[in-house]
Amino acid sequence: MGEENFYDDSHLLVRQIEFIVTAARFAGICYISTPKSERITMKRILVVIAMLVAASLVLSACGGGAAANRLEAIKEAGVIKVGTSADYPPFESVDASGNKVGFDIELMAEIAERLGVKLEWVDMPFDSLIAAVQEGKIDASISAFNYTEERDQMIDFTDAYYNSEDAFTVAENFAGTIANPEDVAAYKVGVQNGTTQDTWLTENLVANGTLPEENLFRYDRVDQAMLDLQNGRIEVLMSDHVPAQALAKQLGGLKIVYHGVLGANGPMNIVIPDGDAELQQAINEIIKQLQDEGFIEGLAVKYFAE
């Protein structure tokens, strides 16, 4: 925080205190002039008011600039805590040695380096990431996030760093037909919980009764959904196209029968706390640098080239 902002905040706090003192003096005059029988009730009211005002001042002083100071706090700590759901190759996954690897992993590592801080990963289920950002458990999250208005109500997004498509994956011996996205309503469908694919299936097929609720299976991890697809517990899996390609190749016995942009899929963004303009600007500037330098294109060739 700069000296000017500190002065403004301090000046505002002084004015609030002056207002409380003036109000207290006025209340004291009223209290003295009030009949004794009514003073006890008034005293209780004044105590409650004083407690509420004091609490509001404490919250204002402690939390008023929390979001705006996150970038400063990150740099002072020398580390940025970033959440991901490491089950989505080639964006984020864990290799045989237990190391996190993937497009998002390398991208975030480069962003952290250019911020001048170390990177600390926090792995958790995808549908827990936004709440973790909101609650301040992590500073940001990268996990193939797409922009949606609902998410934007809770957090902020950086500029897009990549574009994605949706895909439907089935077993190689699948005997059905999926010529259009709506055709999946005839089958048992798997999806990762909390994703834009989950939203698309729910709003476009489940809500109108086309896909029975009991035939939609939600998973915390997409790799577990792929295993269930492979073993016949579900018949179709909807996910991002690139991870679908990677997992189908890795597991074998699977094929993609449809891919395209549905619902909110498309640009991918990093999730940051709501209203955190300084952190947003800093990351946006780095994303732009990496795009201009060809770094992100290089990652795409490394991880997505077929």
| Boundary (domain end) residue, out of 13, 29, 63 | 63
Phi-psi region of 100 (alpha: psi -120 to 50; beta: other; left: phi over 0): beta
Domain shared by 44 and 94, yes or no: no
- Residue 69, pLDDT > 90, answer no
Residues 171 and 246 occupy one common structural domain: yes
Containing H/E element for 303? helix 295-304
Question: Do 96 and 227 fall within a single domain?
Answer: no
* The last residue of a domain, from among 21, 38, 63: 63
Q: Which CATH number characterizes residue 147's domain?
A: 3.40.190.10
What's the structural domain count of the chain? 3
Beta bridge partners of 255: 170
For residues 264 and 196, the answer to whether their CB atoms sit within 8 Å is yes
**Integer Cα distance of 283 and 14 in angstroms:** 35
The string of pLDDT tens digits covering residues 250-271 is 889 999 999 988 866 678 999 9
Same domain, 50 and 88: no
How many Å apart are CA 99 and CA 123, to the nearest integer? 12
Check whether 17 has a pLDDT greater than 50: no
Same domain, 171 and 253: yes
Q: Domain containing 183: what range?
A: 166-260
Give one word for 157, left, alpha or beta, with left for phi > 0 and alpha for psi -120 to 50. Answer: beta
Residues 154 and 208 occupy one common structural domain: no
pLDDT number for residue 22: 52
State the alpha helices, DSSP H only, in 64-161. 70-77, 103-115, 129-134, 149-152
Asked if 76 and 199 sit in the same domain, the reply is no
Q: What is the mean pLDDT of the chain?
A: 83
Same structural domain for residues 88 and 124? yes
Task: Say whether both 170 and 46 belong to one domain.
Answer: no
Whether 86 and 129 map to the same domain: the answer is: yes
Contact 210, 180 (CB under 8 A): no
Asked if 300 and 153 sit in the same domain, the reply is yes
Q: What is the pTM of this model?
A: 0.63
Distance CA 180, CA 39 (A): 75
Q: How confident is the model at residue 163 (pLDDT cuts 50, 70, 90)?
A: confident
pLDDT value at position 31?
46
For 92, which DSSP code?
A: B
- Say whether both 155 and 235 belong to one domain: no
